[in-house]
A and B are shown apart, each in its own frame.
Chain A
Amino acid sequence: MKFGVIVFPGSNCDHDAYHVISKHVGQPVDFIWHRETDLSSYDAVIIPGGFSYGDYLRAGALARFSPVMNSVKEFAAQDKLVLGICNGFQILCEAGLLPGALIRNQELHFVCDHVNVRVESANTPFTHDLKPGSVLRMPIAHAEGNFVCDDATLAELQQTDRIVFRYCDPDGQVTVNANPNGSRDNIAGICSRGRNVMGLMPHPERACEDLLGSSDGREIFRSLAGTLAAAA
Chain B
Amino acid sequence: MKAKVYVTLKPSVLDPQGKAIKHSVELLGYGGISDIRQGKYFEIAVDGSLGEAQARAEAERMAREVLSNPIIEDFRVEIET
Contacts and interface: CB of A to CB of B under 8 A. Distances in A.
A157 B12 CA distance: 19
A58 interface: yes
Contacts of B13: 103, 148
Contact of A108 (B17, B66, B69, B72): B17
Contact of A182 (B16, B17, B69, B72): B16
Contacts of B17: 104, 108
Contacts of A65: 66
Interface residues of B, number: 11
Contacts, number: 36
Contacts of B20: 108
Interface residues on A, range: 20 to 34
Contacts of A133: none
A36 B13 CA distance: 36
A57 B16 contact: no
Given A57-B66, A57-B67, A61-B66, A105 B16 contact: yes
B28 interface: no
B14 A106 contact: yes
Contacts of A105: 16
Interface of A: 57-58, 61, 65, 93-94, 99-101, 103-108, 146, 148-150, 182
Nearest 7 CB-CB pairings of A with B: A101-B71, A101-B72, A108-B16, A106-B16, A104-B16, A101-B69, A108-B20
